[in-house]
């Protein structure tokens, strides 16, 4: 749920709307260090947003043995997008923020709506 919301916000809505070119296009002498150089727009970072969307939902819902490695990976992905020269720092920060927000919202929906509905159905099944 968090990943789908993040993808719609970043890749479908904001990237085409803002249309920010990538740093390797704007900065003379900067080359992207990637085997698959992205050709779409830069802002916000979809990869970073995706990792933070999943990791933040996991932090709120999953045991620490799963959520901590996911959070570390989210940070590392953000750093890698800068290292590869395919994003500006603000692209990564915006992607992380969108991912965190969508992860929190999705986990709250799961806690407040999905889990109670599942528990209610289980209880109804026991009473039959």
| Residues assigned a catalytic role | 47, 87
Nearest residue to 91 via CA among 79, 102, 76, 100: 79
Task: Describe the chain by its helix, strand, coil percentages, rounded to 5.
Answer: 75, 0, 25
Alpha-carbon distance of 110 to 92, in angstroms, equals 27
* H-type alpha helices, 27-85: 46-61, 64-83
The answer to whether the beta carbons of residues 45 and 91 sit under 8 Å apart is: yes
- Count of CB atoms situated within 10 Å of the CB of 50: 22
Alpha-carbon distance of 22 to 30, in angstroms, equals 10
């Amino acid at each position: 749920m968090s990943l789908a919301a993040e993808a719609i916000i970043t890749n479908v809505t904001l990237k085409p709307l803002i249309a920010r070119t990538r740093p390797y296009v704007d900065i003379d002498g900067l080359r992207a260090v990637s085997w698959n150089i992205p050709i779409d727009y830069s802002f916000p970072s979809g990869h970073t947003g995706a990792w933070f969307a999943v990791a933040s939902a996991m932090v709120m819902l999953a045991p620490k043995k799963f959520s901590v490695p996911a959070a570390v990976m989210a940070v590392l992905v953000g750093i890698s997008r800068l290292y590869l020269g395919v994003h500006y720092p603000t692209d990564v920060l915006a992607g992380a923020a969108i991912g965190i927000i969508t992860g929190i919202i999705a986990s709250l929906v799961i806690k407040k709506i999905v889990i109670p509905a599942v528990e209610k159905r289980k209880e109804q099944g026991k009473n039959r």
